[in-house]
């Protein structure tokens, strides 16, 4: 399942540089996550790095983009092969 950033985001800029898939970007009001690029860091780290560094805990699972660990790993492999 991809992650999402809620409107509790304080735009502290710490999540964007730690995302290994460049899935995080500055939206109109706060940072956002591209679900097509988010693998919850599967393939890179044991846990999502954006959640590790977020000081306000505003990055929950995105229930609109449900994916299994195998699907996230397949997405990681596709993204790294394209890159």
Is 47 a domain residue? yes
Is 3 a domain residue? no
Which pLDDT tens digit goes with each residue over 37-53?
Answer: 999 999 999 999 999 99
Is 54 a domain residue? yes
Q: What are phi and psi of 73, to 5 degrees?
A: -65, -40
Q: Output the pTM of the full model.
A: 0.92
Cα–Cα dist 39/9, whole Å: 20
Is 25 a domain residue? yes
Is 8 a domain residue? no
Which pLDDT tens digit goes with each residue over 11-21?
Answer: 999 999 999 99
Contact between 44 and 76 under an 8 Å Cβ cutoff? The reply is: yes
Which pLDDT tens digit goes with each residue over 68-77?
Answer: 999 999 999 9
């Amino acid at each position: 399942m991809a992650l999402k950033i809620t409107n509790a985001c304080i735009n502290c800029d710490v999540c964007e540089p730690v995302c290994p898939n460049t899935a995080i970007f500055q939206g109109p009001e706060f940072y956002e996550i591209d679900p097509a690029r988010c693998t919850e860091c599967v393939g890179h780290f044991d846990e999502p790095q954006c959640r590790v560094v977020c000081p306000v805990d505003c990055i929950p699972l995105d229930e609109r983009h449900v994916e299994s660990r195998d699907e996230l790993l397949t997405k990681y492999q596709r993204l790294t092969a394209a890159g």
